[in-house]
Amino acid sequence: MDAAAAGRRTLALVNLAAIMERADEALLPAVYREVGAALHATPMGLGALTLYRSAVQAACYPLAAYAAVRYNRAHVVAVGAVLWAAATFLVAVSGTFAQVAVARGLNGIGLALVTPAIQSLVADCSDDNTRGAAFGWLQLTGNIGSIIGGLFSLMLASTTIMGIAGWRVAFHIVGLISVVVGALVGLFAVDPHFLNCGNGERLLRKSAWEEMKDLVREAKAVVQIPSFQIIVAQGVTGSFPWSALSFAPMWLELMGFTHNKTGLLMTTFALASSLGGLLGGKMGDHFAVRFPDSGRIVLSQISSASAIPLAALLLLGLPDDSSYGFLHGLVMFIMGLSISWNGPATNNPIFAEIVPERSRTSIYALDRSFESVLASFAPPVVGFLAEHVYGYNPISYGAGASSVGRDKSNAGALAKALYTAIAIPMLLCCFIYSLLYRTYPRDRERARMDSLIASELQQIELERCHGVVDCYAGSKDGATVIDMEYSEEDFDPDDDEKALMDQQAEQ
């Protein structure tokens, strides 16, 4: 099978892995209320579960970068899928809050291995003019996974299957499918870097210690790039609201929406975010051609700024009544469509432009490491604000079902906490993006010059080699054939005859 067909097959499988990764991430937030009731956990405690997973995930990103550089990235994705599936099974059988916390931490190891490998594979399979669209498609497929995971767990949340709580069954099923997807990726996906056996042999000839030193040097070089520092700072603030939105299903249910309606609204938001990512990626490619130094940056500032009024309308402006479901769905669709441009339009394409191709896995891993560990504090912060600032009143377990009045009050407190966790970070995010106008053009040109110099040095080495010896390897009877070219004055038959006579006389 040719390389193009293998590449298409690999991208399809990698996107399938991205679907399952995001589905796994969406499981727990969608059933916060049920898990809280089963484990006697408050909103702050539920938010801490996400913090545990994200902290482990961030700590493992350097390991993910090392694995993606040293080994076949398709195999790295496969191993990560199996690891997060095993942790998902553990969540499903856990009976205490501590057990779930440990399982979620282990879940972060698998997720950490997958994300940088997937992003670098997508970057390698696209160019500067199509990279935004490629990452837009990746975001779309990932959001499809969020839709599937969140909707599926919500549909099962209020049921019992063979005596097992529905939310536990959802974790079991997603874990099983993840194992199947991991096996498919491991068997049929291909890393472009390993299509050439010589490249793979070169990597394997290096010791683990040499690879680690190379990775550390590469990481230091990446961290010193000003545009990388700015995008990471932006990403910390920009990821905070998305992490905080893990409480959105709980907020909708407290307002009186049923599981089915909550699932439909969250599906609407996720679908809009998917389309918004694809739209943002394509617009980013278009604006990058017309305005190379500023087009992508402007789009992200528009996207970040739009979150502030739209979130105010959704969380504070609309009535907290489940009979206004259409208005909630409409605002959530518009919000999802407009606030999801940053990654595919700006961050991911710029990362691919400001470093050489060999450093792409490292830059994506470092970005996720810095961003996720800080953004993971969002759910606990939302829980803290809701409980200690805005008057959220946790249900006293064993005291009976919650009242409608208390649920409405808690929904209002949670809405205020959510808006605080969205508006302030998005405002900072919009401001930080403005710093890229100064650094991005310079860093992009520096990376291009570095690549050009490296290419010319490689060409000089090749020309020097051809000037001395013109060699080619032919697979004839397993032997290697080497042709040597000599100038005419270098070849004198008389000299050879004299040398042979002298050798015979000596014998």
Q: Is residue 84 pLDDT above 70, yes or no?
A: yes
CA-to-CA distance for 49 and 224, rounded, in angstroms? 33
Are 242 and 359 in a shared domain? yes
Q: How confident is the model at residue 467 (pLDDT cuts 50, 70, 90)?
A: low
In a 3-state reduction of DSSP, which class is residue 476? Answer: strand
Are 44 and 78 in a shared domain? yes
For the stretch 53-75, pLDDT in tens is 878 887 887 787 778 777 888 88
**478 Ramachandran zone, left/alpha/beta (phi>0; psi -120 to 50):** left
342 secondary structure, DSSP code: I
Q: How confident is the model at residue 465 (pLDDT cuts 50, 70, 90)?
A: low
- Cα dist from 468 to 180, 303, 481, 491, 493, whole Å: 53, 58, 16, 15, 22
CA-to-CA distance for 388 and 217, rounded, in angstroms? 45
Residues in the chain: 507
Q: Which two tokens stand for residue 483?
A: 């042709």
Q: Of 444, 384, 436, which Cα lies nearest the Cα of 414?
A: 384
Is 491 contained in some domain? no
Q: How large is the average pLDDT for residues 26-36? A: 82
Are 94 and 119 in a shared domain? yes
Terminal Cα-to-Cα distance of the chain (whole angstroms): 58
Are 21 and 92 in a shared domain? yes
Dihedrals phi, psi of 485, to nearest 5 degrees? -105, 130
- Cα dist from 56 to 13, 17, 49, 123, 150, whole Å: 26, 20, 11, 25, 22
CA-to-CA distance for 507 and 477, rounded, in angstroms? 35
Residue 243 or 418, more confident: 418
Is 473 contained in some domain? no
Q: How large is the average pLDDT for residues 17-26? A: 87
Task: Say how many domains are in the chain.
Answer: 2
CA-to-CA distance for 418 and 316, rounded, in angstroms? 10
CATH of the domain at 389: 1.20.1250.20
390 secondary structure, DSSP code: S
pLDDT > 70: percent of the chain: 82
Is 497 contained in some domain? no
Count CB-CB contacts under 10 A for residue 317.
12
Is 308 contained in some domain? yes
Is 478 contained in some domain? no
For the stretch 257-310, pLDDT in tens is 888 888 889 889 988 988 998 899 889 989 988 998 999 999 999 999 999 999
Is 284 contained in some domain? yes
Are 182 and 101 in a shared domain? yes
At residue 419, the pLDDT reads 93
Are 29 and 157 in a shared domain? yes
Q: Is residue 368 pLDDT above 90, yes or no?
A: no
pLDDT > 90: percent of the chain: 18
Dihedrals phi, psi of 160, to nearest 5 degrees? -135, 125
Is 492 contained in some domain? no
Q: Is residue 401 pLDDT above 90, yes or no?
A: no
Which runs of consecutive H residues, i.e. helices, occur in 255-359?
Answer: 259-290, 295-312, 325-338, 348-353
Are 233 and 277 in a shared domain? yes
Which of 146, 171, 193 is the last residue before a domain boundary? 193
For the stretch 123-136, pLDDT in tens is 777 766 777 777 88
Q: Is residue 351 pLDDT above 90, yes or no?
A: no
Are 240 and 141 in a shared domain? no
Instruction: Please give the biggest Cα pair distance in the chain.
Output: 115
1 secondary structure, DSSP code: -
Are 210 and 189 in a shared domain? no
In a 3-state reduction of DSSP, which class is residue 264? Answer: helix
Which of 166, 193, 220 is the last residue before a domain boundary? 193
At residue 373, the pLDDT reads 67
Residue 414 or 405, more confident: 414
Are 169 and 120 in a shared domain? yes
Q: How confident is the model at residue 235 (pLDDT cuts 50, 70, 90)?
A: confident
Q: Which two tokens stand for residue 370?
A: 């810095």
For the stretch 106-118, pLDDT in tens is 888 888 888 888 8
For the stretch 208-225, pLDDT in tens is 677 677 777 877 888 888
Q: Of 239, 241, 235, which Cα lies nearest the Cα of 417?
A: 241
Are 245 and 165 in a shared domain? no
Which of 193, 226, 249 is the last residue before a domain boundary? 193
Q: Is residue 451 pLDDT above 70, yes or no?
A: yes
DSSP helix, strand, coil percent of the chain (3-state; round to 5): 80, 0, 15
- Give the chain's mean pLDDT: 80
Is 422 contained in some domain? yes
Are 370 and 247 in a shared domain? yes
Domain extent for 132: 7-193
